């Protein structure tokens, strides 16, 4: 697959888990960032097709990062998925208004991730569909 995915999460365990799940779904081009500052650097250096970001991180939040991505013309069209424990509906609606494509509640299962990615593929042909790795 040619899709390059940026995973942004301050938890090394969550980054490892997302990397494992994405690899099992056939994705091999995965970049990681532990915070928003690192994520911006990755976006400046690499071409990213999809962002999977945690909400709560030290410093700037995933919502701050989403707003920055949408306000930056070079990156504004990148599909953005929030992966978080945040369950407050008003906050999730706020993220949707800021340009979020979809939301995944932690803990993330491979089945849920696969379904969300299949849904995104329908609107974003730059994202390769998930498949079970051989």
pLDDT tens for the 134 residues of the chain, in order: 589 999 999 999 999 999 999 999 999 999 999 999 999 999 999 999 999 999 999 999 999 999 999 999 999 999 999 999 988 999 999 999 999 999 999 999 999 999 999 999 999 988 999 987 54
- The phi and psi torsions of 75 (rounded to 5 degrees) equal -115, -5
The pTM is what?
Answer: 0.95
Domains and CATH numbers, the chain: 4-123 (3.40.50.2300)
47-81 as b/e, with b when 16 or more CB fall inside 10 Å?
ebbbbbbbbebeeebbbebbebbbeeeebeebbbb
């Amino acid at each position: 697959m040619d899709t390059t995915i940026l995973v942004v999460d301050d938890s090394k365990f969550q980054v490892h888990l997302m990397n494992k799940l994405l690899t099992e779904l056939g994705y091999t081009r995965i970049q990681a960032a532990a915070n928003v500052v690192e994520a911006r650097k990755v976006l400046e250096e690499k071409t990213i097709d999809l962002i999977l970001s945690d909400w709560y991180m030290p410093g700037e939040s995933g919502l701050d990062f989403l707003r920055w991505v949408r306000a930056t013309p070079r990156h504004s069209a990148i599909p953005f998925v929030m992966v978080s424990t945040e369950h407050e509906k008003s906050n999730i609606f706020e993220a949707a208004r800021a340009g979020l494509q979809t939301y995944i509640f932690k803990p993330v299962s491979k089945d849920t991730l696969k379904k969300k990615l299949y849904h995104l593929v329908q609107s974003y042909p730059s994202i390769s569909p998930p498949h079970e790795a051989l």
